[in-house]
């Protein structure tokens, strides 16, 4: 009837026409393409992994390393070299930090026996140099201890992760703090470990 089914959605069905039958003596038509089988070869279980070869992609060929280069790499990756490098870096950083703190300290150069006397430039520079040397030595010792301990821990564990920094920081802080007692050693271990974990998390 007219008007019957008004407002109802119409459903359209797509019918795939079957290939016409082949006559006698004619080759059989190819089967219809099945997209499910095609997807299995593209993104499914039958997908073959592609081997990424830099030489095939036009990469720059790398010549074999000489014995001198291998020896230099072994020296640079050794624990003594890392400890020496950290010691030098800590000495420079500590000296700069000591001079900076002495420069902003208003009591540098003053004589406690005569506080009203104005210090000379020579006395101020002398105090700044002494403070810089003191800070440089402390930073160098801490840097060498931390770097050497981290290298030993990493070589023992065979892994390079944040745990190496935490363990080496705890050992370094505990060794420095134990000179003032057991409580100071425990606090130094925890504080240095937390600081090492924070720095490692920020850098990574």
Q: Note the pLDDT of residue 17.
A: 45
Domain range annotation of the chain: 70-160, 161-203
Q: Model confidence at 13, in pLDDT bands (50, 70, 90)?
A: very low
Q: Residue 170 and residue 190: Cα distance in Å, rounded?
A: 6
What is the reported pLDDT for 34? 67
Contact 163, 131 (CB under 8 A): no
pLDDT exceeds cutoff 80 at 82? yes
5: left (phi over 0), alpha (psi -120 to 50) or beta: left
Convert the pLDDT of each residue in 49-64 to its tens digit: 665 555 555 556 667 7
Helical packing angle, 162-177 and 121-157, nearest 10°: 130
- What pLDDT does residue 199 have? 84
Instruction: Give the model's pLDDT for residue 12.
Output: 42
What does the pLDDT average to over 175-198?
89
Q: What confidence category does residue 67 fall into, taking pLDDT thresholds of 50, 70 and 90?
A: confident
Higher pLDDT, 98 or 48: 98
Tallying the residues shown for the chain, one arrives at 204
**Sorting pLDDT into bands at 50, 70 and 90, what band is 69?**
confident
Residue 22 sits at φ, ψ, to 5 deg, of -80, 145
Q: Which residue has the higher pLDDT, 56 or 182?
A: 182
- How high is the mean pLDDT of the chain? 78
- The radius of gyration computed from the CA coordinates of the chain, to the nearest angstrom, equals 37
- Give the pLDDT confidence of 25-47 residue by residue, as tens digits: 666 666 556 667 767 766 666 66
Measure the CA–CA gap between 76 and 11, rounded to whole angstroms. 74
DSSP state, 180?
G
Give the pLDDT confidence score for residue 93 in this predicted structure. Answer: 93
Q: What is the pLDDT of residues 110-131, one digit of tens each?
A: 777 776 777 788 888 888 889 9
DSSP calls for 156-203: HHT--SHHHHHHHHHHHHHHHHGGG-HHHHHHHHHHHHHHHHHHHHHH
């Amino acid at each position: 009837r007219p008007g019957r089914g008004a407002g109802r959605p119409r459903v359209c069905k797509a019918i795939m026409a079957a290939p016409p039958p082949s006559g006698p003596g004619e080759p059989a038509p190819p089967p219809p393409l099945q997209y499910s089988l095609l997807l299995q070869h593209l993104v499914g279980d039958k997908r073959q992994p592609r081997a990424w070869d830099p030489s095939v992609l036009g990469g720059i060929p790398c010549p074999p390393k000489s014995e001198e280069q291998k020896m230099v790499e072994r020296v640079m990756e050794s624990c003594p070299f890392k400890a020496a490098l950290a010691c030098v870096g800590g000495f420079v950083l500590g000296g700069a930090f000591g001079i900076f703190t002495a420069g902003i300290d208003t009591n540098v150069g003053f004589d406690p026996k005569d506080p009203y006397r104005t210090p000379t430039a020579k006395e101020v520079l002398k105090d700044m140099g002494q403070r810089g040397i003191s800070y440089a030595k402390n930073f160098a010792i801490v840097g060498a201890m931390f770097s050497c301990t981290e290298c030993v821990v990493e070589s023992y564990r065979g892994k390079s992760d944040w745990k190496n920094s935490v363990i080496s920081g705890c050992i370094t802080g505990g060794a420095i703090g134990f000179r003032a007692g057991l409580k100071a050693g425990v606090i130094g271990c925890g504080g240095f470990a937390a600081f090492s974990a924070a720095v490692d998390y920020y850098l990574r």
